[in-house]
């Protein structure tokens, strides 16, 4: 094959951010905004969207080409419907869709192989990562990360001394609104802040454990299609993350402003700014409120479709 097409979804984290670092359960859900890739052999020099590829600007794509081992020049076209740096897994979707195309040029790819390689690329480019974004983008629907293997197991991913078991998680139809605060907070310092709190405080360790238990209850509510319980647990998760010190006044403002129009809302991702998510049956109203409060809203639906290959 000399040409292939693919697309992969973004994601939002429903439960368990930060606690997942300590082996607790975390859940992410794929969303209906995607990145589309179109890769073809038969050109003189590797180009992306008409321009010669630049390792500084396209580290994920360059790393993917090297790992797959394609030597011929490639014509790459990408189209993204995901905002970059907004906590919706755009780098994971880019990496997964690129690998889907590249492996398709060489044969029939395994989704497990794509998920593993995509995680390695994210880990390398970012200097650290969990497999939650890349596995959700590959598999679609929702994925549950745990320390131990359970039912609906998809794959196990290892890195140094860390082990993650990735599981399929059923989801009901869900409408979500992301509110982007526009405040960029690097993940690393926030993770280190939680680590210092965790190491010196039994209270912090209890909070982490409670977030993990809450994520498990969230999985049960998702399976039952009980949106009210899912929303209530999201509210609880937001409160616990704020106690851990990764909240932000702007996140609280947006969460509180939409609370009467949604099942539940919480910060999603590393915190300290970034995004909040709301589970709601009134997405337009919630988006309107976020906009009035100077946030950038994105109306999304949970998606059962992961990586697609043509």
pLDDT in tens, 121-161: 998 888 777 899 999 999 999 999 999 999 999 999 998 88
pTM comes to 0.93
Direct distance between the N- and C-terminal alpha carbons of the chain, in angstroms, rounded to an integer = 11
**Inter-residue contact 253 to 238 (CB < 8 Å):** no
Q: In the chain, what are the domain boundaries?
A: 3-170, 175-301
Q: How confident is the model at residue 1 (pLDDT cuts 50, 70, 90)?
A: low
Instruction: Assign domain 175-301 one CATH number from 3.40.640.10, 3.30.70.890, 3.40.50.1820, 3.90.180.10.
Output: 3.30.70.890
Q: Is 167 left (phi over 0), alpha (psi -120 to 50) or beta?
A: beta
Q: What angle do CA 94, 65, 91 make, to 5 degrees?
A: 20
pLDDT at 184: 85
Q: How confident is the model at residue 191 (pLDDT cuts 50, 70, 90)?
A: confident
Beta bridge partners of 276: 179, 267
What CA–CA distance (Å, rounded) separates 84 from 109? 27
Mean pLDDT of 237-255: 96
What positions carry a catalytic annotation?
A: 133
Q: Which fold has domain 3-170?
A: Ribosomal Protein S5; domain 2 (3.30.230)
């Amino acid at each position: 094959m000399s040409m292939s097409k693919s697309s992969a979804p973004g994601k939002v984290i429903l439960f368990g951010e930060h606690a997942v670092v300590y082996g607790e359960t975390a859940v992410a859900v794929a969303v209906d905004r995607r990145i589309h890739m179109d890769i073809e052999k038969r050109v003189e020099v590797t180009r992306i969207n008409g321009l010669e590829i630049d390792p500084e600007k396209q580290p994920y794509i360059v790393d993917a080409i090297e790992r797959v081992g394609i030597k011929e020049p490639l014509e790459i076209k990408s189209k993204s419907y995901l905002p970059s740096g907004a906590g919706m897994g755009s780098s994971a979707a880019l990496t997964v869709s690129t690998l889907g195309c590249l492996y398709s040029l060489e044969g029939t790819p395994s989704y497990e192989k794509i998920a593993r390689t995509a995680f390695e690329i994210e880990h390398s480019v970012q200097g650290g990562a969990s497999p939650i974004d890349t596995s959700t983008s590959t598999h679609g629907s929702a994925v549950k990360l745990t320390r131990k293997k359970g039912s609906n197991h998809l794959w196990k991913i290892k890195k140094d001394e860390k082990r993650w078991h990735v599981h399929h998680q059923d989801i009901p139809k869900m409408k979500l609104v992301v509110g982007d605060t526009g405040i960029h907070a690097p993940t690393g310092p926030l993770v280190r802040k939680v680590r210092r709190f965790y190491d010196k405080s039994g209270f912090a360790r209890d909070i982490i454990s409670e977030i993990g238990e809450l994520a498990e209850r969230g999985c049960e509510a998702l399976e039952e299609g009980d949106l009210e319980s899912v929303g209530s647990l999201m509210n609880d998760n937001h409160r616990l993350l704020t106690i851990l010190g990764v909240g932000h006044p702007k996140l609280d403002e947006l969460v509180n402003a939409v609370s009467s129009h949604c099942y539940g809302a919480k910060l999603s991702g590393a915190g300290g700014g970034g995004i909040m998510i709301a589970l709601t049956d009134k997405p337009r109203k919630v988006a309107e409120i976020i906009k009035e409060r100077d946030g950038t809203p994105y109306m999304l639906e949970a998606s059962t479709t992961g990586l697609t290959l043509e």
